Structure 1
């Protein structure tokens, strides 16, 4: 009813019915007759997905983040029965760092919209990491750590994903007690809504990272200092050796406190070595594998200690990113003492394996993940960047390679782990639709259906624009796509597509006439124009650098005046976009805090992530 308010006035025109799953897989059926839409589904999410499928299939609209275009008719025309069974048991969503690049300061109002978006797109297994720290602080206090020792451990809210994975500590904090109280209350609402829709959220567990102050209480405890990304030593995390009895004690305490607050859950995430080297040891490969085996066992034991039904979930980004460390032997060791049915691996980045690294698919390299259930996933966004990128044909059909592979093992789900959302809508529609399909998709036909559902029409100019996009920006995957003005001063190259064909596609799209009534066309036209202006800014920087090489200061200044003009136009334009506004990002941050000082601190933290990211 929140999606189509007119249905709230005539609820009898929408009939919902719960049916059985098919071999454990969600299913939905839709049929329209006599002005009544009947949807049958095997869960709340399946019912919502069925409604959205009907909406798009009949070209009645589409839902984006904080925006939509719904053209619900006064009299619904008849539509033939349609039955869809998902080829996957689970439909996964989010990356740990989405909680930094997009979601750190979300309020319940924004979360409610996101959970609606998830349900409509058929997602039933989202990461739910809000209040991770609120529970951990209780554990640290039970152990006897001081407020100062706890404060030095944490980062500001926008950087918490990297603190959770042990990449950095002690940056842009501390976190006040009011933050923890607010986040715990928010997580209650999030989990309640997710579970009411039949979703199975993945919640946080203890991964092994501890405040350095633990040594005051346990001076003999063995800690490994882990660095990341060139950060100074004061920001390095301390990883508690899994051989220490304290590891299991802390893990159990965390699960007890979590369950005491939020009740029973099944899936729990713990990531210990994201983009980091393994702790040093002097015993060679055998000692390394023994340590990994012990770590896997201890994490699982801590998760299952208060809940024998609990399943350990782990992100698999490093399986493709760090093949120098992670191979069949090391992964097998990590998983060796975890029961097969109590583990779920997120094969995070199939798109990177196939179209960027080109280093083979993980399910082949890791022998079907050694009989552990796993989720096929893609990473359609890096670093929250908004530029158009990605291999469209792969996102539509890449999952079929996994489904048909002799190495598929216990493939149980499909999903996506974008580092930032609210961008590149067409890719997210492609991926979420693919998760409910086990046949080849004709991408050209898909784009026509997409545009007719999204905007209400598909003029020739738009068709030509999408053909150009498929041959340019959407024909390859760029890691962290950036213009030169988003890089270090003096950088001449960029990773954003700037070809003439791409520029022509942008112009054709923006100048399409007859769709101005569509809020989603206006949103996308703003994005396309911002891309165009970004490329012109890119060119102005290059021209200025060339003039500087010639010591032509007058022309250098003139080029930078053009850059400023384009930048200000882009800024002005984006104020009309529903999500791409700095003011919105800052308003989320300032909505928290119990004093002007706290609000200012949150704003500073939010600004830092989208500018310098790291040190002041």
Structure 2
């Protein structure tokens, strides 16, 4: 049923349509629709597309479904826009209804590993993607530092101390979670002001679509001065020391309320707040009742500022530190919060679902979320076949999830996995092979359907079918991005390498060649998603080649010819990566320094951009070293290659039993890291070339490199 008035979201969705469709968007009409859930209807005739929907997100989904179903095209993270449509084909009436009420998006970490340096153009494109894919509940972290600055100013701290406490801009989300403070900064006043404005603009657009953003909240983490005046505990996270207030401290609730009030004043509120008072840190008191006391105090602070506050919490601690978080402790924590005041995000449900273990979180509304990516790692891989069954099982639970979510630590990787999850907010996927065939056609267009579907069948047979093997935060990711060491013995390294090759390498090589052939015959197609997928597939193959050649070096005790061949893989892969800007370190650092207002801020931004994807913390701490390792031009052929060359130089000594070889290697690696932090990558990094030509060159050079004993049938 159509209402008589134009919906308030129509102009916002019309703007999205213009950015996606170009001039043909003027032939799209929007109207309101009555409904209890999220619903839409569309029909096209005579070149006009009519969409009615209950809200702006549902209208955007309707537009995307029309494009996918009637025009054979989808809008992904790297689709070239506007689409090359000159008219809108007719379509019979079609109705759709969401399977769940909410589509959740982001993880605190995503704001460090993907978008710390985004500007409005980046965010506008991302919010459009969110709307088209049914995202209704995005985490909104940008600009929270302005709320913290305002709150701590009101409490009595001075500007310099607050900015020092907040630390570097690239690490702010970890500060918001209470993991660290005062690291890699200080934060500039200009950054706080510019990101206050950017955060407000992001929220305005999200709300204009009808989304309900989730804003950060107080976790108990405070500057040391405030901790010293009351009851507080010292915590350690990956070597970083922070201070957290005891919930019985008289400052706990007032500080939480002050931060919420400052945030509401700056950004408004939709009454949803994200706080993770434990995250990856054991509570400072082992009493089973203590987590419940933290819960009660956290909610009390929020409600003092916003009586309608609802707290969203990531369930990650219950998985990450499951030895501590017994069923009794989790239940005591959850029972301290009224059911209508908390939403639980089952953050890693595609691998370690907690909803069954904790009886759907004791009556709390909850979200089934897919994490997959840790730190922004660029190797492709996911269990595509396991996702629909996992979601269907959750939706069949006695208390099913209120929503489905994407909680990756970084975006712009493995798009097929995240598209598959997002699609199930609205659509059931009973047949993955049929879904994948449609995905391929919609991603690239219909011209090369047979060839590209064949390539993706090969990818589904290999990197996207791990058969239950876990994709873990600290798992071995291959030698390229791993810190070299002599402590991993030959047998251990061989087992690690073999464990990454659970498929027939020739099947992956064939899929890669099929993608290359299409890119050679249709160069324009490689400018969009095909180029991204071509690079990901090349990474998948060449990373395993590097693993194999590393073993050859080890088996030959550092034979110079084998060392040269091993290191050449790094140089060759670097050239291929340079063909796509998003796979270059240069692009990442340029985005960072674009925010610099003066030389001092430029130095901080450069340091943050270089540090978080290499040593992460300090160069002498191994705790998070290479956690966010990326296959990027400027890193692979420089930073990573140089480290393995140092390893190869000392290998003979290490194999001969020299006890000083490992210590010397560590010192050389520390020096190399310090050099990179000071000077960045080699300025003579390769210039962008032709991706299809580079890919063909590498396939020809390395196609036979993964021979026995690593090639095997299942």
Normalising by the residue count of structure 2, what TM-score does the alignment of the two structures yield?
0.78
Deviations 1:484-505 (A, max 9, x none): 1211204633575474133332
After the TM superposition, which segments of 4 or more aligned residues of structure 1 sit over 6 Å from their partners?
none
CA distance in 1, matches of 2:82, 2:431: 25
Q: 1:246 aligns with which of 247, 251, 255?
A: 251
Does residue 588 of structure 2 align to residue 585 of structure 1?
yes
Give the CA deviation at 1:144.
Answer: 2.5
Does residue 133 of structure 2 align to residue 85 of structure 1?
no
Q: 1:223 aligns with which of 202, 210, 232?
A: 232
The secondary structure found in structure 1 opposite 2:508 is: helix
In structure 1, what is the equivalent of residue 329 of structure 2? 330
Does residue 491 of structure 2 align to residue 479 of structure 1?
no
Does residue 561 of structure 2 align to residue 559 of structure 1?
no
CA distance in 1, matches of 2:509, 2:278: 41
In structure 1, what is the equivalent of residue 524 of structure 2? 517
CA distance in 2, matches of 1:598, 1:259: 28
In structure 1, what is the equivalent of residue 706 of structure 2? none
The secondary structure found in structure 1 opposite 2:402 is: strand
CA distance in 1, matches of 2:118, 2:608: 14
Q: 1:368 to 1:531 in 2, by over 3 A?
A: closer
Q: Is the 8 A contact 2:40 2:58 kept in 1?
A: yes
Q: Is the 8 A contact 1:44 1:197 kept in 2?
A: yes
In structure 2, what is the equivalent of residue 267 of structure 1? 272
Give the CA deviation at 1:523.
Answer: 3.0
In structure 2, what is the equivalent of residue 488 of structure 1? 483
Give the CA deviation at 1:131.
Answer: 1.8
Q: Is the 8 A contact 2:120 2:198 kept in 1?
A: yes
CA distance in 2, matches of 1:531, 1:155: 36
Q: 1:365 to 1:506 in 2, by over 3 A?
A: same
Q: 1:7 to 1:140 in 2, by over 3 A?
A: closer
In structure 1, what is the equivalent of residue 575 of structure 2? 572
Q: Is the 8 A contact 1:135 1:254 kept in 2?
A: yes
Q: 1:161 to 1:606 in 2, by over 3 A?
A: same
In structure 2, what is the equivalent of residue 606 of structure 1? 609
List alignment gaps of at least 5 residues for structure 1: 282-287, 354-360
Q: 1:326 to 1:121 in 2, by over 3 A?
A: same
Give the CA deviation at 1:43.
Answer: 0.9
Give the CA deviation at 1:3.
Answer: 5.6
CA distance in 2, matches of 1:478, 1:447: 21
Give the CA deviation at 1:540.
Answer: 3.0
Tell me whether 82-91 or 531-540 shows the greater mean CA deviation.
531-540
Q: 1:499 to 1:479 in 2, by over 3 A?
A: farther
List alignment gaps of at least 5 residues for structure 2: 1-14, 620-714
CA distance in 1, matches of 2:382, 2:362: 30
Tell me whether 244-253 or 65-74 shows the greater mean CA deviation.
65-74
In structure 1, what is the equivalent of residue 544 of structure 2? 535
Q: Is the 8 A contact 2:372 2:471 kept in 1?
A: no
The secondary structure found in structure 1 opposite 2:43 is: strand
The secondary structure found in structure 2 opposite 1:21 is: coil
CA distance in 2, matches of 1:516, 1:546: 42
Q: 1:575 to 1:315 in 2, by over 3 A?
A: same
Residue correspondence of structure 1 range 119-518 to structure 2 within 5 A: 119-147=131-159, 149-215=161-227, 218=229, 221-229=230-238, 231=239, 235-281=240-286, 288-353=287-352, 361-406=353-398, 409=399, 411-437=401-427, 439-457=428-446, 458-476=448-466, 477-480=470-473, 482-490=477-485, 492=493, 493-494=496-497, 496-497=500-501, 499-500=504-505, 501-512=507-518, 514-518=521-525
RMSD: 2.2
CA distance in 2, matches of 1:586, 1:567: 21
Deviations 1:362-397 (A, max 9, x none): 222112211111111110211111111111022234
CA distance in 1, matches of 2:20, 2:216: 39
Give the CA deviation at 1:319.
Answer: 2.1
The secondary structure found in structure 2 opposite 1:122 is: coil
CA distance in 2, matches of 1:59, 1:392: 25
CA distance in 2, matches of 1:436, 1:6: 21
Q: 1:144 to 1:41 in 2, by over 3 A?
A: same
The secondary structure found in structure 1 opposite 2:279 is: coil
Q: Is the 8 A contact 2:24 2:88 kept in 1?
A: no
Q: 1:208 to 1:79 in 2, by over 3 A?
A: same
Tell me whether 92-101 or 460-469 shows the greater mean CA deviation.
460-469
Q: Is the 8 A contact 2:103 2:403 kept in 1?
A: yes
Normalising by the residue count of structure 1, what TM-score does the alignment of the two structures yield?
0.90
Does residue 21 of structure 2 align to residue 14 of structure 1?
no
Tell me whether 508-517 or 478-487 shows the greater mean CA deviation.
508-517
Q: Is the 8 A contact 1:468 1:505 kept in 2?
A: yes
CA distance in 1, matches of 2:588, 2:70: 35
Give the CA deviation at 1:6.
Answer: 8.4
Tell me whether 422-431 or 472-481 shows the greater mean CA deviation.
472-481
Give the CA deviation at 1:529.
Answer: 2.4
CA distance in 2, matches of 1:50, 1:6: 13
Deviations 1:318-361 (A, max 9, x none): 222222122322122112232211111111111121xxxxxxx4
